Structure 1
Amino acid sequence: MVSRSILDRHRLNRLSRRLATRLLGDDVARGDGHCRLPPEWLVLGINNFCNLKCKMCDVGLGDSATVFWANLIGDHPQNMTLDMLNEILRQASAFRPRPQVGLAFTEPLIHHQILDFCRAIVERGFYCQITSNGTMLPRLAEQLVEVGVDELVISVDGPPAVHDRIRGKVGTFAKLYQGVESLNAARERLKRTHPKVRFSFTITDENYAHVLDFVQAVEPLRPAGINISQLNFISDEMAAAHNARYGGDLAVVRSNLGTMEPAAFETNIVWAELERVRAYASERGPALPALAITPNVTEPRGLETYYREPLTFVGGRTCTDPWRLMMIKTDGTVIPAHGRCYNFPVGKITEQSLPAIWNSPRFIEFRRTLRAAGGTLPACSRCCGIIGKPVRET
């Protein structure tokens, strides 16, 4: 059972970080690549296989040449062990304030020890978030409530037929829907408020005319929030421009597109659909869960720029994620930020401690490279870590 004191500790942690940032200043603005504050998040890749074949995902497409594939899959199937997780948590306990822990890759809920992982994280007092496709929820919902998971982010691609088509398997929407219903029922039965459920929707060429249908399809599940994101990708044009300046360890290829061509997106339809969503949200008012659109472009031209001029940044140009997050792969290798970042190893927990890796020469080098380039590299322009970020003084 999750005690009130644990939930209060999470809030105190976030307050402590805000206070420390105010007192110490902004690590990003310092420019030397060092971080005085610990990471806000540890993103854990606890396995490197998935049970779906999504049409916009390099993993589902089997595109093994991409950085995304390298970060999520690597060279051979592997589960993170419970011993490694416990070592990560032991080392992470040295950070003050403590980071939050996100189980994000590749599909956490198919890990054979997922409940043991969640229990270990929660019992050590860490915030526990899971990002999932939701297909395993019907059999795990009640246990996830019982062990005290804090947050569950479920990716959804549209109403039932659209979602199932994109995911490559009939019945996937029904499974996640049933799973969230079971989770809601378990929370009520056990008198719990967590895990909070949030839905994440990514616009693709197969669903951009069904955004409102998606919102209305998941609204009855009473999520805490809904996020609608434009497609994250690296186009051929982006890869060529990037590799001309940043090859070697930072080289990239076309990614997370499959056969999609962003320039062919009918942005007028995307805009009209998002306007319908905004109107519906206004009509529903507080009855609709918190809704975010990323990036929240304010005119049709913004969408044309996003899909037809992918080297043009939309919003700010400074990615702060490498100063806030670190990802640990199944074998203990650490990379900056998360799975969409570069496959640029900065350490390994079997060889160095997490605090040492956080300010290791390789991590500092990576941060300095970003700073020297103006806050991001060319291949970053359509990454979830930068789209919609505010313009900031640098």
Structure 2
Amino acid sequence: MMTKIDFSSLYSLLGNLHSRVPFGLGSRYALPPFFVQIEVTHRCNAGCPMCYQKTKLGTNDEMTPEEIKHIIDQLPAWCVLSLTGGEPFIREDFAAILEYGLKKKRCTILTNASLVTDSHIDLMVRNKLLLMAVSIDGIGDTHDGIRKSAGLFDKAVETIKKIQEKKKALRTNFPLIDIKTVIMKENLGQLTDILGLADNLSADFITYSVPRHMDNLYSAPYREDIREICGALPSYPRLEDGELELLTKQVSRIRKYSGKTKVRFYPANMLDERTLGKLYRQELSPQNFRACSLPWSRMSISPHGDVYPCLSYLVGNARRESLASIWNGPRFREFRKCLERNRLSNFCLGCCNSICNDIAVEK
């Protein structure tokens, strides 16, 4: 069986090669997508303040399981499928969607893990779900307070324990478990505690990310004019000097961790006081980051079938058009052209997939 480190390295390498080849050749056309994210719903049983989808609750016009299956059927054989929300398990018919996805593709899920049943666990482990990303932003009441839902922490931990027990019983490594933690004022003093929890739960990964105020540039309404995207500015939560000092101390301790859980930070290369300070003081510009090739390998699809690259720029609708016609259609190519010409838009700064250029930061 492939180890977690092998999987992580291989996935990153293949994804990078898949997008970098056409990007490096200067083509605005792309190979068929390597990674497709389907938001099966915008509904959720939590109320996270940092979530950019909290204004989009409701069941109106969500794609049916058959519509989602039709999208899955159009994906290339090598494509990795991510099923997200909202909270995907809030859909009563999610098991049918998940089962179909697992039979057809390598799948991942992003969830708060509070609505996962024993039958869901059996389905995921037996069919080797590739990875389950579980949001945990604090220990106990801290997590529940951030997510505005009592008991969420205990349910998430219980779900992870059950999955690990099932994996052991069936002698499989899958699904890999990735603890997702958003860094914010409320949990600055618990970042190492969350790492300890991940270690105790035998999680394969823990991923820390820096939040931004997303406004609606990652959500509906989707922009028709690309200039609205490329000219927008991000907004980071401010940290006082003492809070930034606490964060850098926590990060320093995390860097010294040598356990089995693999630690990741988003954005990457944000592991020192100088760079973290520049990020939170909003002193970084697109020139401080490497050029991005992700729109040459990834696409996202909303619960209503709207297709967008990453930012809220509408490139088509999967209910009315084929994915192939959207993927290399004029609007997707226009987005790639904008990114190619400008390296990054201002709003890309701090994206989970952005990579800071250390040399540029030091200037």
After TM superposition, the score normalised by the length of structure 2 is 0.84
Matches within 5 A, 1:10-49: 18=14, 21=17, 26-35=21-30, 37-49=31-43
CA deviation after TM superposition for structure 1 residue 212, in Å: 0.3
What amino acid does structure 2 have at the position aligned with 1:119? Answer: E
- The CA distance in 1 between the partners of 2:50 and 2:14, in whole Å, is 36
Equivalent of residue 160 in structure 2, options 133, 158, 180: 180
- The CA distance in 1 between the partners of 2:214 and 2:318, in whole Å, is 30
Q: Where does residue 269 of structure 1 map in the other structure?
A: 246
CA deviation after TM superposition for structure 1 residue 391, in Å: 8.4
Equivalent of residue 384 in structure 1, options 341, 352, 357: 352
What amino acid does structure 1 have at the position aligned with 2:204? Answer: A
CA deviation after TM superposition for structure 1 residue 76, in Å: 6.2
- The CA distance in 1 between the partners of 2:271 and 2:190, in whole Å, is 20
- Rate the CA distance shift 1:246–1:351 in 2: closer, same or farther, 3 A: closer
Helix, strand or coil: the match of 1:207?
helix
- The CA distance in 1 between the partners of 2:241 and 2:63, in whole Å, is 40
- Rate the CA distance shift 1:359–1:156 in 2: closer, same or farther, 3 A: same
Equivalent of residue 79 in structure 1, options 62, 68, 81: 62
CA deviation after TM superposition for structure 1 residue 288, in Å: 2.8
Deviations 1:150-184 (A, max 9, x none): 21011110211221111111211100000111111
Q: Is the 8 A contact 1:49 1:77 kept in 2?
A: no
What amino acid does structure 2 have at the position aligned with 1:153? Answer: A
Q: Where does residue 100 of structure 2 map in the other structure?
A: 120
- The CA distance in 2 between the partners of 1:251 and 1:360, in whole Å, is 23
Q: Where does residue 65 of structure 1 map in the other structure?
A: none
- The CA distance in 2 between the partners of 1:105 and 1:152, in whole Å, is 13
Deviations 1:228-272 (A, max 9, x none): 12223458xxxxxxx9x96446675877x7xx5356782111101
Equivalent of residue 290 in structure 1, options 262, 278, 282: 262
What amino acid does structure 2 have at the position aligned with 1:107? Answer: E
CA deviation after TM superposition for structure 1 residue 349, in Å: 2.1
Deviations 1:134-162 (A, max 9, x none): 11135432332234322101111021122
What amino acid does structure 2 have at the position aligned with 1:360? Answer: G
Helix, strand or coil: the match of 1:209?
helix
What amino acid does structure 1 have at the position aligned with 2:210? Answer: Q
Helix, strand or coil: the match of 2:299?
strand
- The CA distance in 2 between the partners of 1:20 and 1:158, in whole Å, is 32
CA deviation after TM superposition for structure 1 residue 352, in Å: 2.3
Provide the aligned length of Structure 1 versus Structure 2: 346
Q: Where does residue 134 of structure 1 map in the other structure?
A: 113
Helix, strand or coil: the match of 1:59?
coil
Question: Which moved further from structure 2: 50-59 or 206-215?
Answer: 50-59
- Rate the CA distance shift 1:302–1:362 in 2: closer, same or farther, 3 A: same
- Rate the CA distance shift 1:25–1:188 in 2: closer, same or farther, 3 A: closer
- Rate the CA distance shift 1:249–1:273 in 2: closer, same or farther, 3 A: closer
Structure 2's unaligned 5+ residue stretches are: 216-222
Matched, 1:205 2:185: yes
What amino acid does structure 1 have at the position aligned with 2:261? Answer: P
Matched, 1:215 2:188: no
Q: Is the 8 A contact 1:101 1:127 kept in 2?
A: yes
After TM superposition, the score normalised by the length of structure 1 is 0.78
Q: Is the 8 A contact 2:44 2:57 kept in 1?
A: no
- The CA distance in 1 between the partners of 2:73 and 2:317, in whole Å, is 15
Q: Where does residue 106 of structure 1 map in the other structure?
A: 86
CA deviation after TM superposition for structure 1 residue 328, in Å: 1.3
Matched, 1:321 2:294: yes
Helix, strand or coil: the match of 2:114?
coil
Matched, 1:370 2:339: yes
- The CA distance in 1 between the partners of 2:16 and 2:271, in whole Å, is 34
Equivalent of residue 349 in structure 1, options 318, 325, 330: 318
Q: Where does residue 153 of structure 1 map in the other structure?
A: 133
What amino acid does structure 1 have at the position aligned with 2:250? Answer: E
Equivalent of residue 91 in structure 1, options 74, 95, 104: 74
Structure 1's unaligned 5+ residue stretches are: 63-72, 236-242
Q: Is the 8 A contact 1:234 1:253 kept in 2?
A: no
CA RMSD in angstroms, aligned pairs only: 3.4
CA deviation after TM superposition for structure 1 residue 310, in Å: 5.1
Equivalent of residue 54 in structure 1, options 48, 57, 61: 48
Q: Where does residue 307 of structure 1 map in the other structure?
A: 280
- Rate the CA distance shift 1:138–1:218 in 2: closer, same or farther, 3 A: farther
Q: Where does residue 66 of structure 1 map in the other structure?
A: none
CA deviation after TM superposition for structure 1 residue 381, in Å: 0.7
Identical residues among aligned pairs (%): 23
What amino acid does structure 1 have at the position aligned with 2:354? Answer: I
Q: Is the 8 A contact 1:52 1:168 kept in 2?
A: yes
Q: Where does residue 163 of structure 1 map in the other structure?
A: 143
- The CA distance in 2 between the partners of 1:303 and 1:21, in whole Å, is 29
